[in-house]
Amino acid sequence: MTSGRRSVVIAMLLVPQIALARHKPPPTYTISLPATPDFSPLSWLVGRWSGRIAGRGPKGTLQLSVNYALDKRVIIFRERSERQAGQATPPAKESWMGILIAPRARQPYTLDVYSSTGFVIRYEVRVTGPEIRFNFSGGPRTPSGWLFRRTIERTGVSRFTEVVQMAPPGRSFFNYYKAQFIRATSAQPSSPTASH
């Protein structure tokens, strides 16, 4: 058989295969999505809040927004604070953004906080009745040796108290501030940002 005839025979064998390949549907791939997270214990916190630092010591104001994102698969926290100078502390402006995700099975939730100071801190978040506890669990960029925790306690339909505590290396916790929050009611609120 000559090379010309061989080419014709090969072509005749390939044409039906090419035709079949054209009509064959492409493969379908699927990835099973994880279950929708259950954020119901935190649903009351979603919205905008205005806070004032209460008690002795430096006064200040806070703005907090809590919103669902990504088809309600995460909750985004944004807080901005301005605190006056104290006896041992300068005035401070700070903002942070946190991304809260739900666990696969049950609590604790996980909150990664990105601060305007450059720190990235991770909290375990547990909800018990009207109380939400944020317990420090590390993070990729934390102040060396310091520990942090905060507690939110719902005190009414549109009110809560937040206590933020810190512990210097080798020392016990102290109250950094305690704030009283009320739900913001303005129609066109300006959202706090994580940049200052």
Q: Say if 19 falls within a structural domain.
A: no
Q: Which of 70, 118, 117, 79 is nearest to 98 (CA)?
A: 79
Q: Say if 20 falls within a structural domain.
A: no
Residue 13 has pLDDT above 70, yes or no: no
- Among 30-34, 87-91, 96-100, the minimum mean pLDDT is found in 87-91
Predicted local confidence at residue 7, as pLDDT: 63
Q: Say if 78 falls within a structural domain.
A: yes
Determine phi and psi for 15, rounding to 5 degrees.
Answer: -55, -50
Write the pLDDT tens digit of every residue in 148-182: 999 999 999 999 999 999 999 999 998 888 999 99
**Measured distance between the N- and C-terminal CA atoms of the chain, rounded to whole angstroms:** 82
Q: Say if 195 falls within a structural domain.
A: no
**Total structural domains in the chain?**
1
Predicted local confidence at residue 191, as pLDDT: 45
Scan for tokens 């609120």, then name that residue: 189
Mean pLDDT across the stretch 52-80? 93
More confident residue, 62 or 84: 62
In DSSP terms, 133 is beta-bridged to 126, 151
More confident residue, 73 or 20: 73
Tokens (6 digits) for 101: 């995700």
**pLDDT band, very low/low/confident/very high, at 17 (cuts 50, 70, 90):** low
Cα separation, 21 vs 19, whole angstroms: 5
Cα separation, 123 vs 167, whole angstroms: 15
**pLDDT band, very low/low/confident/very high, at 88 (cuts 50, 70, 90):** low
Q: Say if 188 falls within a structural domain.
A: no
Predicted local confidence at residue 194, as pLDDT: 41
Mean pLDDT across the stretch 26-41? 88
Residue 121 has pLDDT above 50, yes or no: yes
Instruction: Specify the CATH number for the domain of residue 155.
Output: 2.40.128.20
Q: What is the DSSP string of 59-105?
A: -EEEEEEEEEETTTTEEEEEEEEEE---SS---EEEEEEEEEE--SS
Provide the domain limits for residue 118. 40-183
Q: Say if 88 falls within a structural domain.
A: yes
Amino acid letter, 156: G
In DSSP terms, 181 is beta-bridged to 51, 160
24 Cβ partners below 8 Å, 6+ apart?
none
